[in-house]
Structure 1
Amino acid sequence: MTLTDTHCHLYLEQFEEDIDEVYRRSVEAGITHIFLPAIDWKSFEKMDDLHHPEITFYKMAGIHPCSVEDVWPFDEQKLADLCEREDVVGVGETGLDYYWSTDFVDQQKTSLRMHCNMAKATGKPIVLHNRESTKDLLDIIKEEQDGNLTGVWHCFTGTEEEGKRAIDLGLHLGIGGVSTFKNAGVNKTVSKLPLDKMILETDAPYLTPAPHRGKRNEPSYIKLIAENLAELHGRTLQEIAEVTTKNAFNLFAVK
């Protein structure tokens, strides 16, 4: 069985002390492919330090909406240079975040549109962060969609209607730890949306799934998310692993 974590920040300092154990548990859980979204310029450089003979890593390039203020004015050419690299499979993560502050919303929106342009220019999918900004995010994607924009709503927590709208706009849905929280309502929503538009992700070290909620997240927990999704859709774990891995490979155009 092959499982794929399409969104993991394994390069962060939270994994420095026990990275070999994290690798071991990932392999034991069946994780063979891990996708690494960037947060800022420095995180992209750290991705090259990740190596394991049984895990394939895929890099992305982008500026997280909460990092936009730190790098403004935005170096659009630097983003273009990174996104055009052959070893980069996705653009992001980008998006909007109104939770921490709304002081830099205009710059976040400008950054998001820049990332959309890079995604369309390179033919690579965009990875979208969304926190308390769903309407604005989907409205911008609608405006930027010219038939060439693909991507994923990372950490999907929307309603059924919002999920369907995102799919209609050409997006996949990233199913993560929140889908295992019984009181969040996301599990019921996920059960009503199509599997062929879903990919699995941990967002490690964040958003740890039940029953480990509150602890550091890691790639091996993707199996818990897959098991929960299997239960929600009445499928076997093997079927979920096959479908979501196929979806991820097709979206990011990897073999």
Structure 2
Amino acid sequence: MIITDTHTHLYSEAFDEDRKQMIGRAMEAGVSRFFIPAIDSTYTISMLQLEKDFPKNVFLMMGLHPTHVKDNYEEELKHVEEMLAKRKFYAVGEIGIDLYWDKSTLDIQKKAFKHQIQLAKKYGLPIVIHCREAFDEIFEVLETEKDGALYGIFHCFTGTLEQAHQAISYNLKLGIGGVVTFKNGKIDQFLNQIDLKHIVLETDSPYLAPVPFRGKRNESAYIINVLEKLATIYNVSFEELAAITTENSKVVFKI
């Protein structure tokens, strides 16, 4: 059985004390594929080291996270472009719009998002979207870029059934993580109306730990709790759900 974590920040400072042990725990739990989103250029060296340490298990993305779109965003986007031109990445991400922390940067967040979507198309790569309090703004940009070359994952999906269908209409899978286990998460109430072919698993570790670890540091091994919840929602076996969601991840990342 292969379990795939399509979104985990294994290079995070939160894991500096026990990174290899934490990854070892995930592997013991059956998680053997880790897809690593970028944040900004300051993490690139750590990401490359992670890939070097776990070459058969770690797959890197490249991109500029929306909360890190600042005054120097054009310089950061140049770094993204240079890295994409230099070597293989499996997605452009995580990219998108975040209006929770700072609404004043909306215009440049949109520019950075759109530019990186176009980079993904240039290299034939999927995008991995970060959205926080910005569904309308995200969909507005996606509408302008909608074509046969646009595809990827709507990471940490927390929207409504209607928003789920809209995301899927842009050829995006829904990344489902710890939120599905929360009492107030709401997505558990309608997910069974979404075909499993549109679902991939993620942790977003070290963030958004599932119940019963909510509020603590998340890690990739906890994807088991997400799997168990989804198996209940869809009324399928743990093993079948692991197989389907891993296959879905292969469709997106082509590996």
Task: Look up the match of 2:253.
Answer: 252
Question: After superposition, what is the alpha-carbon deviation per residue over 1:43-74, rounded to whole angstroms, capped at 9, x for unaligned?
Answer: 12211222556951000110100001163334
**What's the TM-score, normalizing by structure 1?**
0.95
Distance 1:106 1:230 in 2: 40
Residues 1:55 and 1:14: Cα distance change in structure 2 (over 3 Å): farther
Task: Look up the match of 1:226.
Answer: 227
Distance 1:54 1:120 in 2: 26
One-letter amino acid of the counterpart of residue 34, structure 2: I
Distance 1:76 1:52 in 2: 27
SS of the residue corresponding to residue 206 of structure 1 reads coil
Q: Are the counterparts in 2 of residues 209 and 221 from structure 1 also a CA contact under 8 Å? A: yes
Note the C-alpha offset of 1:142: 1.4
Unaligned runs of 5+ in 1: none
Note the C-alpha offset of 1:169: 1.2
Distance 1:196 1:182 in 2: 25
One-letter amino acid of the counterpart of residue 169, structure 1: Y
Q: Tell me how large the CA RMSD over aligned residues is.
A: 1.5
Q: Report how many residues are paired.
A: 254
Residues 1:236 and 1:70: Cα distance change in structure 2 (over 3 Å): farther
Q: Are the counterparts in 2 of residues 59 and 88 from structure 1 also a CA contact under 8 Å? A: yes
Task: Look up the match of 2:195.
Answer: 194
Question: After superposition, what is the alpha-carbon deviation per residue over 1:96-124, rounded to whole angstroms, capped at 9, x for unaligned?
Answer: 00001101000000000011101111110
Unaligned runs of 5+ in 2: none
**What's the TM-score, normalizing by structure 2?**
0.95
SS of the residue corresponding to residue 130 of structure 1 reads strand
Note the C-alpha offset of 1:216: 0.2
Q: Are the counterparts in 2 of residues 27 and 54 from structure 1 also a CA contact under 8 Å? A: no
Q: Percent identity?
A: 39
Task: Look up the match of 1:111.
Answer: 112
SS of the residue corresponding to residue 129 of structure 1 reads strand
One-letter amino acid of the counterpart of residue 184, structure 2: N
Task: Look up the match of 2:244.
Answer: 243
One-letter amino acid of the counterpart of residue 157, structure 2: F
Q: Identify the range of structure 1 (128-137 vs 78-87) with the bigger mean alpha-carbon deviation.
A: 78-87
Q: Are the counterparts in 2 of residues 83 and 90 from structure 1 also a CA contact under 8 Å? A: no
